[in-house]
Amino acid sequence: MRYLPKSRWKKAGLVLLLIFGLIQFIPGPERNISSATAHKGMEQLYPMPDSIMQILKAACYDCHSNNTNYPWYSTIQPVAWFLNRHIVEGKEELNFDEFETYSKRRQQSKLKSIASQVKDGDMPLTSYKLLHKKARLSGKERSMITKWFLEKYDTSKN
């Protein structure tokens, strides 16, 4: 394998820097911020203790609700596109603010799935936890979430 001379590395670096600078002028995706209060949210259907709500808001709501708390770096491209993809995919899978609109069967499935994924450490995503300390759930918090969602799952089946 042949190595590029230093001057070519400099040119390649300048081209990449120029591309990075230019993509900053491309408008970012629409932000996931709603001024409406959630009247169809999970907390209306299943009132929850403040301790559970605080954990969900810190670890889940940025990607699974109609309101994302955006970090400072969310305006930098291509980070904004990456974050938007996560939010769109997250809301397609589960949206706490639209939970009441789900069929009873889907609600039951989501309650069980949330408990399972939190218990197994699949949620929140590792990429999210790297930048959000509050989303790093302790064993106790995982246990609380798992227990609460499984209780709601058991009572919703009847």
Higher-pLDDT residue of 13 and 149 is 149
List Cβ neighbours of 128 (8 Å cut-off, separation of 6 or more). Answer: 62, 63, 86, 135
The better pLDDT of the pair 4, 25 is held by: 25
SS (H, E, C) 73-110: HHHCCCHHHHHHHHHHHHHHHCCHHHHHHCCHHHHHHH
Q: Map residue 23 onto helix, strand or coil.
A: helix
Dist. CA 18–CA 14, nearest whole Å: 6
Predicted confidence (pLDDT) per residue in 73-82, tens digit: 888 888 888 8
Region 100-104 average pLDDT:
93
* pTM attached to this predicted model: 0.81
Query: How does the average pLDDT of the chain come out, rounded?
Result: 87
| pLDDT value at residue 15 | 84
Taking only the tens place, the pLDDT of each residue in 116-152 is 999 999 999 998 888 888 899 999 999 999 999 999 8
Q: What is the residue type of 71? A: P
What does the pLDDT look like over 30-47, one tens digit per residue? Answer: 877 776 666 788 988 899
Q: Tell me what pLDDT residue 2 has.
A: 64
